[in-house]
Amino acid sequence: LYFSAQEGILILYHIKDLQYEIKICADISEPISSLMFSPDYTSLLLVTDQGTVYSYRPAHSGEAVKLLDGTCSCFLAADFLTPGNNYCVSVTISGEVQVWSLEDGTFLSKINLGTEVQVS
């Protein structure tokens, strides 16, 4: 079970039978607003309250890698573009939907919806 603490810490609760182990996986120092696993569960996207998007790979047990910086454009949400887990799609408050490479954070494409967006 993965969850995030208010301070921007990604935590894993490894539960087996009646015992559990707590592990701090990453500390991004920004409150995390949402977590999304890739379809094959090899990557986890973390979106902060500030709109920054990070990628975390549980098998690599490394730090979260910043993919998209929310200071340029406030991302409301991001998710994996399926099939596969090589790309993600994000949406900004202004209604711009963007496609990014998860390999290196390269911007690939965008479309503007022409309306403001809210996440519910």
Could you give phi then psi for residue 115, rounded to 5 degrees?
A: -155, 155
Residue 109 above 90 pLDDT? yes
Q: Indicate the length of the chain as a whole number.
A: 120
Q: Which of 44, 104, 116 is nearest to 68 (CA)?
A: 104
What is the residue whose two structure tokens read 């592990």? 23
The residue ranges of every structural domain in the chain are: 2-112
Q: Does domain 2-112 have CATH number 2.130.10.10?
A: yes
What sign does the dihedral 61-19-16-10 (CA atoms) show?
negative
The gap between the terminal CA atoms of the chain, to the nearest Å, is 23
pLDDT tens column, 52-100: 888 888 887 678 888 877 665 677 788 888 887 788 888 888 889 989 8
Q: pTM score, two decimals? A: 0.73
- pLDDT at residue 72, rounded to an integer: 59
